[in-house]
Amino acid sequence: MQTNINSEIGKLEGVIIHPPGSEVENMTPENAERALYSDILNLSIASQEYAQLAQVLEKISKVFTIKELLADILDNNAAKDELLQRICNHECVTGMDEKLARNSSETLANLLIEGVLLERNNLTNYLSNEKFLMRPLHNLFFTRDSAMGMNGNMLIGRMANPVREREAMISEAIFNYHPLFETTTLNPLKPQNGIPFDNKATLEGGDFQVIRDDIYVIGTGMRTTTQGIDFVIENIKQHKNGIHHLIVQELPSQPESFIHLDMVFTNLNTDECMVYEPVVYGLSRYKTIYIRIDNGKVKISEKPNIPEALKQLGIDLKPITCGGKKDPWTQEREQWHSGANFLAFAPGKIIGYERNVNTLEELNNNGYEIIKAVDFIDGKVNVDDYNKCVVSIAGSELARGGGGARCMTMPFKRAAVNW
Ligand SMILES: NC(=O)NCCC[C@H](N)C(=O)O
């Protein structure tokens, strides 16, 4: 399957997910912050909630899981050796790659995701406060962040935090080795054709949106650095003819619910977007930068905000307000629980958390039918009967991990949009 992402809203045809496993519970209140969590999760509830998302996606798209794809590529010895060496070198676990390689592909995939326990077989290990030799991938169910479709390429995330770096290595190995995918990966860690390597370059999928085949909106803040965006610019200069546009949005550095652009801005339709107003419109000290790349020539200027910048490029999106218009406190509360974080599975057809009732009401006021995930899964309601709808999924526990429907999905193929 050729990977192909030329929008945020084209009919979803292929997506990668990861149902959370023991890795989300293997943290303590003390080290939850190191795991990039603001709370500790209950797996059985998170799993039930996640199952709704997975079942909804299965009704509308081809769905693959990271664990199955990883196990498949681990059957290939070259892929297995390369990935294990890379992970073990990077995580400074000496002498483990050969030992790990002896496991079956399924067991090894589990170990790489759920972690490898530290054996108490010497004094250092006995006295260590660590439970794991190789830490669990607590954040893997946010598959969005470690790889992102950029037209026909898959751009590999360069994660801002070491606890997520193995995720990007796994995603890269999947796209490079799995026979299912026809694509070329681009990785800020491995720039090619004379693009200089910059150790400060970080780039996460939550910050990266392809709006049209020639327009990208990218957030810069806690997770994606300007150097990471410069890597994207260099690749566009090298590989793409004609005019391409980047809109870069500076993001506040706190609270942590502003980690990624998709927590404050998502594209819902050919003419609508979801915004958390205080960041997208209100905070003038956070700049919106417009970068025009014309056959390799770069020109940079400032714009008032993302919707205005898009309008000048022919994409006129009406903003719908996260949390509704009544009260900034409600907006803040719902934004915190990923109220702006929608996944579009077709133009005007989106998935989001049912807990954010004011956001859903605002969508309803704008013509979106609210469909409960269970009704859609049970076949009681058909999304094809509506021009615009939100499939609302349970997410009390999932939201505590710090993300919503967009964060929990890695689309790699979408149909073209009729703009
Ligand atoms: N795209 C997203 O906004 N992803 C959410 C990631 C949450 C995760 N706990 C993290 O801090 O990386």
Give me the CATH number covering residue 32.
3.75.10.10
Q: Is the pLDDT of residue 240 over 90?
A: no
Instruction: Give the whole-angstrom CA distance, residue 342 versus residue 350.
Output: 6
85 vs 281: CA distance, rounded Å:
46
**pLDDT tens digit sequence for 123-177:** 999 999 999 999 999 999 999 999 999 999 999 999 999 999 999 999 999 999 9
Tell me whether residue 1 is in a domain.
Answer: no
pLDDT of residue 283: 65
Q: Is the per-residue pLDDT at 272 higher than 90?
A: yes
Residue 153 falls within a domain, yes or no?
Answer: yes
**Domain limits at 365?**
12-414
- Residue 88 appears among annotated catalytic residues: no
CA–CA dist 317, 42 (Å, integer): 38
122 CA distance to ligand 1 centroid (A)?
A: 36
In a domain, 3, yes or no: no
**Residue 110, pLDDT score:** 98
Which region among 28-37, 62-71, 140-149, 197-206 has the lowest average model confidence (pLDDT)?
28-37
Span 362-391, average pLDDT: 98
CA-closest residue to ligand 1 atom 1 = 206
Q: What is the pTM of this model?
A: 0.97
CA 103–ligand 1 middle distance (angstroms): 30
- H or E element at residue 371: strand 369-372
Ligand 1: which residues within 6 Å by Cβ? 36-37, 139, 142, 144-145, 206, 259-260, 262-263, 401-403, 407
**In the 8-state DSSP scheme, what is residue 1?**
-
Q: Which of ligand 1's atoms lies nearest the C-alpha of 164?
A: 12
More confident residue, 264 or 256: 264
Query: Does residue 255 fall inside a structural domain?
Result: yes
Q: Is 201 helix (H, G, I), strand (E, B) or coil?
A: coil
Atom of ligand 1 nearest to the CA of 403: 5
| Predicted confidence (pLDDT) per residue in 395-419, tens digit | 999 999 999 999 999 999 999 999 9
Would 2 be classed as within a structural domain? Answer: no
Residue 360 lies in a domain: yes
Q: How many domains does the chain have?
A: 1
Paired sense of beta strands 132-134 and 116-117, if any: antiparallel
Q: pLDDT band at residue 94, thresholds of 50, 70 and 90?
A: confident
* Per-residue pLDDT at 31: 87
7 inside domain: no
Among candidate residues 88, 322, 389, 407, the one labeled active-site is 407
Within a domain: 409? yes
ipTM of the complex: 0.98
- The DSSP code sequence of 300-311 is EEEES-HHHHHH
